[in-house]
Amino acid sequence: KREPGAAGRVSSNPLDELEHVTFGVYGRETSPDGVGYMWMFGPRAEIHVRANARSVTIPLRHPIEAFREPARAHINADGRPADDVALASPERRMSSVPLRATDVPPVSGMHRIRVTIDHAWRPSDVIPGSTDERLLGLQIGDLVIR
């Protein structure tokens, strides 16, 4: 905003400049095959998406090879059920969530997507020799927002 001419190209409202904001996740990581993702910080994460978005596709991955039990992701959009995804293999699954402009809460000005699972895992509890004490849910990949 402080750059010359920025007043004409940058909104004074930060929400106008953001595609999305994600809460309840750890920092960004990259898989060995070059795919970016963030671990859920426990069994719930929230993604706030710009108000004019019509849909969001959320890549989800559950490392069943490490945690040894399946997971089920429940996705709510603006307070309504949007998708249920069974994760019983290590492959990435895509959850496509339609968004309605009339559902955007006036207070936040952004769609609110909630991803939940039944429980999270602590790697040190299930992987022999692990010293990772983080409480992990699913891996959430790069969003596709339309």
Q: What is the pLDDT of residues 39-63, one digit of tens each?
A: 999 999 999 999 999 999 999 999 9
Query: What tokens does 3 get?
Result: 């750059």
- 9 has a pLDDT exceeding 70: no
- 108 has a pLDDT exceeding 90: no
**Mean pLDDT, the chain, as a whole number?**
92
Contact, 110 vs 15, CB < 8 A? yes
pLDDT digits (tens, 9 = 90+) for 64-88: 998 889 999 999 999 999 999 999 9
**Alpha-carbon dihedral sign for residues 32, 67, 65, 88:** negative
